[in-house]
Structure 1
Amino acid sequence: MKKLLLTLAMGTSLLASPVMAQEKLKIGATVYGLNAEFMQIWTSALQQHPAVKAGEVEVTIFDGRYDALVQQEQFNTMITQKYDAILIVPMDVEAAAAPVQAAVDAGIPVVGSNARVNSEVLTAYVGSNDVEAGELEAKAVLDKMGCKGNVVILEGPIGQSGQIQRLEGNQKALAACPDVKVLEQQTGNWSRAEAQTLMENWLTSHPGQINGVIGQNDEMALGAIEAIKAANLKVEDFAIAGVDGVTDAINAVKEGQMASILQDANAQAQGALDIAIKAVKKDYEPQSEIWKQYPQMEWKDGTGKDYLVPWTPVTTENADKLLEARSKL
């Protein structure tokens, strides 16, 4: 992913050719943070959108730096500079509501993607069902454990919709396994490093007692794997799962170290941009191929409220194909 690291930074403009510059739409995208691979893939997908490559749209990426207040200031900037539309991947489900309202009050449509905002004024939301993801990943862990033993849960940032909804799914799966005990449950803030530190502490506090690790994203699951290796324990002795299908997780699935579910960042980002353009240009027809890729996610003339991209379980059978598709981003 070195290419992404070089091309994506706070405020980076994703510019196409200057053809018809006077008619080019100006769309901003504020994302909760760009440190990890998933959001780098999401932002790269905007750069690859046909409307951006054709010079019809100029997209500016704002790095929210994992801070809801930073995202609020970025909204203020986009409102002041009269952007045509705004995309948001929010850090906090509640805190993002006020800046979204301010943009809509200023006549700027806002489309949510990947993480939800508690707001009724969003033009639409393009993401995936996080409750379903939480249940699927927890079930993968519990099935390997035979519905017996002890687990730990690595949560996302408290207050982000992914953390809230995936935990709901985790708990739904756990309710079906009453003999499983949750020994620890704490936020790792989507961070591999933070999760590694937590897991190291838990392995010390509960020696020989942890059987499963539910990581609400792949980065944290991978951090737990690093902690297990550092403790000279066998990764295969643990049931571990994450969510997102980042590159390292796909490789870890190939090696039998964990389970993962692919969250299609490309479809979420390009779908959100198509919706945003439609909100500004009423005669616009979607240009991204993702609508053909996921026919069950109907376009609805761009007027729908919820567009849910399906999850794809990562398996040893499809891992190489997924990695090949990733290499083209």
Structure 2
Amino acid sequence: MKFTKWFTSAALGATCVAAFAQSAPVKTWKIGAAVYGQRNEYAQLWVNAIKDHPAVKSGLVSLTVFDGRYDHMTQDGQFDTMITQKYDGALYIPIDSIAGGNVVRKATAAGLPVVGSNGPVKSDQLVSYIGSNDVLGGQLEATAVVKRLGGKGNVVILEGPVGQMGATQRGQGIDMVLKQNPGIKVLERKTANWSRAEALTLMQNWITAHPGQINGVIAENDEMALGAIAALKAAGIDPKTVPIAGIDGVTDAIKAIARGEMVLTERQDAKAQAQGALDILLRHEIGPSYKPQSAIWQQYASSMPWGDGAAKLYAVPWTEVTQANAAQFVAER
């Protein structure tokens, strides 16, 4: 009888423990996404993609997106908030790649792991970085303009923000192509800070300063390319006569390519860069048992393998958009 009572009690206790284990809540990971600014379409695509990540939709991740408003100090303060409120991890697209290194150092010292995405950060303390090869992007867009010009002519270059490594690296790629094509002369080059409005103003000034002399435009992103197109149209110049190339693959740029007003854009996959970054961060937090949840790892399995999810660099391939395939991408938007 005593044995029966002991066995019954033990079994009941085991059942209660099992039931408790089954009902124990799964940890929710508190993750912040610090984005340099959300006024341009690419950043909006990135934000929408991260919100659509399966781990966010299932509740495994509690996500907060921070708008950096194109200001380093704003982003720095947002990291202070994440540290104070004890976030589990952060995704980071910096407006200033150099100063961003100090942000990563501060976060790491406070126990806040950081994964970089889209825009490089000068830091060896990042958990990992996922983005496209910006040097190659600059090479590809410059090559498209130079080829359309037959290797001869005058170009202007619209650059990204000073201090952002993505812009610097795209500029390096552009310069590599120009060095190989001495028949191309650079009339002007200046930052328009990824902004369509700033590019419009710059281009208007350059058209006035160099009447009839600008043969091509190399813009380090699509927003600036679109600003240049608007300036040409305002000046009565058909943009189809002035080869223009950009980077990102935003909707208006793809439509401009379809109309023949741009020769090319190199499309960055915002979904791959955003959702890939979150998977990498979750792998760091949860450990080797974590399996990536985004479909992008199947999409790029051959060119960007997941491996064990612990690589320091993941390079998302560029997709070239020209008039030949622009309609396909317009239909997807």
Asked if these proteins are the same fold (TM beyond 0.5), I'd say yes
Task: Report the Cα distance in structure 1 between the residues aligned to 2:283 and 2:250, rounded to whole angstroms.
Answer: 30
Give the partner amino acid of 1:275: I
Q: 2:280 aligns with which of 275, 281, 288?
A: 275
Equivalent pair of 1:153/1:185 in contact (CA under 8 Å): yes
Is residue 286 of structure 1 aligned with residue 289 of structure 2? no
TM-score (norm 1): 0.92
Is residue 297 of structure 1 aligned with residue 301 of structure 2? no
Q: 2:90 aligns with which of 79, 86, 102?
A: 86
Which position in structure 2 is the counterpart of 1:6? none
Equivalent pair of 1:134/1:165 in contact (CA under 8 Å): yes
Task: Report the Cα distance in structure 1 between the residues aligned to 2:97 and 2:24, rounded to whole angstroms.
Answer: 37
Which position in structure 1 is the counterpart of 2:44? 40
Provide, for residues 266-299 of structure 1, a one-character-per-residue CA deviation record: whole Å limited to 9, x for no partner. 1000000000111111121100000111111011
Which position in structure 2 is the counterpart of 1:163? 167
Task: Report the Cα distance in structure 1 between the residues aligned to 2:25 and 2:152, rounded to whole angstroms.
Answer: 62
Task: Report the Cα distance in structure 2 between the residues aligned to 1:250 and 1:30, rounded to whole angstroms.
Answer: 27
Provide, for residues 104-125 of structure 1, a one-character-per-residue CA deviation record: whole Å limited to 9, x for no partner. 1122210000001110110000
Task: Report the Cα distance in structure 2 between the residues aligned to 1:86 and 1:308, rounded to whole angstroms.
Answer: 19
The alpha-carbon deviation at position 20 of structure 1 amounts to 8.5
Report the secondary structure of 1:28's partner residue: strand
Equivalent pair of 1:150/1:211 in contact (CA under 8 Å): yes
Which position in structure 2 is the counterpart of 1:146? 150
Distance 1:77 1:21, change over 3 A: farther
Equivalent pair of 1:20/1:55 in contact (CA under 8 Å): no
Give the partner amino acid of 1:56: L
Is residue 76 of structure 1 aligned with residue 83 of structure 2? no
Provide, for residues 128-170 of structure 1, a one-character-per-residue CA deviation record: whole Å limited to 9, x for no partner. 0000000000111110111101000000001101210000000
Is residue 242 of structure 1 aligned with residue 246 of structure 2? yes
Which position in structure 2 is the counterpart of 1:311? 318
Which position in structure 2 is the counterpart of 1:8? none
Report the secondary structure of 2:163's partner residue: coil
Equivalent pair of 1:76/1:99 in contact (CA under 8 Å): no
The alpha-carbon deviation at position 234 of structure 1 amounts to 1.2
Pairs aligned (count): 308
Which position in structure 2 is the counterpart of 1:103? 107
Distance 1:225 1:112, change over 3 A: same
The alpha-carbon deviation at position 21 of structure 1 amounts to 7.2
Provide, for residues 25-78 of structure 1, a one-character-per-residue CA deviation record: whole Å limited to 9, x for no partner. 100010110001000000100111011111111110000010111111000100
Report the secondary structure of 1:178's partner residue: coil
Give the partner amino acid of 1:289: A
Percent of aligned pairs sharing the same letter:
56
Is residue 266 of structure 1 aligned with residue 266 of structure 2? no
Larger deviation, residues 185-194 vs 99-108? 99-108
Is residue 324 of structure 1 aligned with residue 331 of structure 2? yes
The alpha-carbon deviation at position 22 of structure 1 amounts to 6.4
Task: Report the Cα distance in structure 2 between the residues aligned to 1:265 and 1:188, rounded to whole angstroms.
Answer: 22
The alpha-carbon deviation at position 237 of structure 1 amounts to 1.1
Report the secondary structure of 2:198's partner residue: helix
Task: Report the Cα distance in structure 1 between the residues aligned to 2:57 and 2:197, rounded to whole angstroms.
Answer: 36
Which protein is bigger by CA-based radius of gyration? Answer: 2
Task: Report the Cα distance in structure 2 between the residues aligned to 1:231 and 1:65, rounded to whole angstroms.
Answer: 31
Task: Report the Cα distance in structure 2 between the residues aligned to 1:136 and 1:91, rounded to whole angstroms.
Answer: 23
Task: Report the Cα distance in structure 2 between the residues aligned to 1:28 and 1:80, rounded to whole angstroms.
Answer: 12
Which runs of no fewer than 5 residues in structure 2 stay unpaired?
A: 1-22
Give the partner amino acid of 1:49: H
Provide, for residues 207-233 of structure 1, a one-character-per-residue CA deviation record: whole Å limited to 9, x for no partner. 010001000000000000000000011
Which position in structure 2 is the counterpart of 1:120? 124
Task: Report the Cα distance in structure 2 between the residues aligned to 1:277 and 1:318, rounded to whole angstroms.
Answer: 35
TM-score (norm 2): 0.90
Larger deviation, residues 289-298 vs 316-325? 316-325
Distance 1:187 1:20, change over 3 A: farther
Task: Report the Cα distance in structure 2 between the residues aligned to 1:308 and 1:75, rounded to whole angstroms.
Answer: 25
Task: Report the Cα distance in structure 2 between the residues aligned to 1:232 and 1:324, rounded to whole angstroms.
Answer: 30
Task: Report the Cα distance in structure 2 between the residues aligned to 1:226 and 1:20, rounded to whole angstroms.
Answer: 58
